[in-house]
C-alpha cells in the first residue's frame, strides 16, 4: 500500500499523544509526517510537509482549526481536512463543510468511524493523485511533441477507447475545435488477410510497400497522423484547411 502523508493537530498534549500512539496509521494507509499543538504551529508543519490529509481539532486557542483551514485554502495548498470536535455545534460543522472539510468527527472518537473515515480520505486522495499523474503525463507529451500527443488521442478515439466528449475536450483545451469549415481525410489501409494465408512470405513486405506508396503519393505534401488500428491495419488522418478531392 502506498503511504500518504498525515499531519495531526490538537492543542491538548495528552490527546495529541493519544492520537499519535493509539492508532495504527500505516494500516489505514498513512505515515504521520508531523504533529502540532496549536493552529500557528499547524500552519508551519503543513507548509513544510505538504500532507495529503490533516486531522485537526476544531477548537484551539489563538487559531482554531477552521482558521487553519481558511489560511491553507488561501495559500492553495491541496490537502483533505478531517475535523475533530468535542461539541455538537451545528455552526462549527457547517463552517467546516463550507471550507471543504472531508469529515466532521465527534470526540470521544469512535474507532470504527475513524478508520472508515480515514479509509475514505485515503481512497479520495489516491484517486486524485492518479488523475493528476495521468494529466501530467499527457501534459508532458503535449509540451514535448504536440503532434505525437494528438496522434495518441486520435488513435485512442478511433479504437473506441476515448469517448467523443473527451476528444472534444482535448481539442477545446488546445483551442483547435473543428468547425463546419474544417475537413478531414481518413484512410484505412491494409492487405486482405487471405493473402497472408496464401503467400505468407510476401505478406509483410507487401504491407510495407502499400503503406510506403500511400505516404509517398497521397500524403506527400501534407503532415498527417499515422497509427495502427485495432486489427493491425494502418490509419492515416489529416485535418485540412479547405476541401480537397483526391483522385486515385
* pLDDT single digits (tens) 88-146: 666 777 788 888 889 888 888 999 999 999 999 999 999 888 766 665 555 565 555 55
Pick from 30, 66, 67, 37: nearest CA to 51: 30
Which residues are 224's β-sheet partners?
none
pLDDT at 141: 56
Where is the domain boundary, 90, 108, 136? 136
Domain that holds residue 193: 145-240
pLDDT by residue (tens digit) across 49-59? 999 999 999 88
Count how many domains the chain has: 2
Where is the domain boundary, 136, 171, 204? 136
150 and 236 in a common domain: yes
196 and 229 in a common domain: yes
122 and 75 in a common domain: yes
In a domain, 13, yes or no: yes
**Across 69-88, average pLDDT:** 89
49 and 20 in a common domain: yes
Higher per-residue confidence, 33 vs 223: 33
Residue 247 has pLDDT above 50, yes or no: no
245 pLDDT tier (thresholds 50, 70, 90): very low
pTM of the model: 0.57
103 and 218 in a common domain: no
pLDDT at 248: 35
88 and 55 in a common domain: yes
10 pLDDT tier (thresholds 50, 70, 90): very high
**Across 137-156, average pLDDT:** 60
Instruction: Determine the Cα–Cα distance for residues 115 and 99; give it in Å rounded to an integer.
Output: 22
159 and 58 in a common domain: no
128 and 10 in a common domain: yes
158 and 194 in a common domain: yes
In a domain, 17, yes or no: yes
In a domain, 247, yes or no: no
What is the average pLDDT value for the chain, to the nearest integer? 78
214 pLDDT tier (thresholds 50, 70, 90): confident
pLDDT at 133: 64
116 and 166 in a common domain: no
In a domain, 248, yes or no: no
Count other Cβ atoms within 10 Å, centred on residue 181: 8
pLDDT by residue (tens digit) across 12-29? 999 999 999 999 999 999
Where is the domain boundary, 136, 157, 181? 136
163 and 45 in a common domain: no
Q: The domain that contains 120 carries what CATH number? A: 3.40.50.2300
In a domain, 185, yes or no: yes
246 pLDDT tier (thresholds 50, 70, 90): very low
Where is average pLDDT lowest: 104-118, 135-149, 183-197, 221-235? 135-149
- Percent pLDDT > 90 in the chain is 38
In a domain, 126, yes or no: yes
105 and 86 in a common domain: yes
In a domain, 246, yes or no: no
In a domain, 109, yes or no: yes
Amino acid at each position: 500500500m502506498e503511504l500518504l502523508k498525515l499531519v495531526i493537530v490538537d492543542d491538548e498534549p495528552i490527546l495529541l499523544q493519544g492520537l499519535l500512539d493509539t492508532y495504527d496509521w500505516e494500516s489505514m494507509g498513512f505515515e504521520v509526517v508531523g504533529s502540532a499543538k496549536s493552529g500557528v504551529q499547524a500552519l508551519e508543519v503543513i507548509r513544510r510537509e505538504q500532507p495529503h490529509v490533516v486531522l485537526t481539532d476544531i477548537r484551539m486557542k489563538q487559531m482554531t482549526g477552521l482558521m487553519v483551514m481558511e489560511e491553507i485554502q488561501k495559500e492553495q495548498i491541496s490537502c483533505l481536512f478531517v475535523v475533530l470536535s468535542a461539541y455538537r455545534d451545528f455552526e462549527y460543522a457547517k463552517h467546516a463543510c463550507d471550507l471543504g472539510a472531508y469529515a466532521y468527527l465527534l470526540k470521544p472518537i469512535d474507532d470504527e468511524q475513524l478508520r472508515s473515515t480515514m479509509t475514505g480520505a485515503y481512497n479520495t486522495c489516491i484517486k486524485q493523485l492518479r488523475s493528476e499523474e495521468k494529466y501530467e503525463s499527457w501534459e508532458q507529451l503535449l509540451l514535448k511533441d504536440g503532434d505525437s500527443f494528438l496522434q495518441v488521442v486520435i488513435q485512442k478515439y478511433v479504437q473506441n477507447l476515448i469517448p467523443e466528449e473527451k476528444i472534444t475536450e482535448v481539442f477545446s483545451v488546445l483551442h483547435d475545435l473543428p468547425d463546419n469549415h474544417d475537413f478531414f481525410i481518413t484512410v484505412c489501409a491494409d492487405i486482405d488477410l487471405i493473402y497472408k494465408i496464401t503467400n505468407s512470405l510476401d505478406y509483410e513486405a507487401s504491407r510495407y510497400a502499400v503503406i510506403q506508396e500511400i505516404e509517398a503519393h497521397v500524403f506527400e505534401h501534407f503532415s498527417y497522423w499515422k497509427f495502427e488500428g485495432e486489427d493491425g491495419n494502418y490509419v492515416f488522418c489529416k485535418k485540412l484547411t479547405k476541401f480537397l478531392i483526391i483522385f486515385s
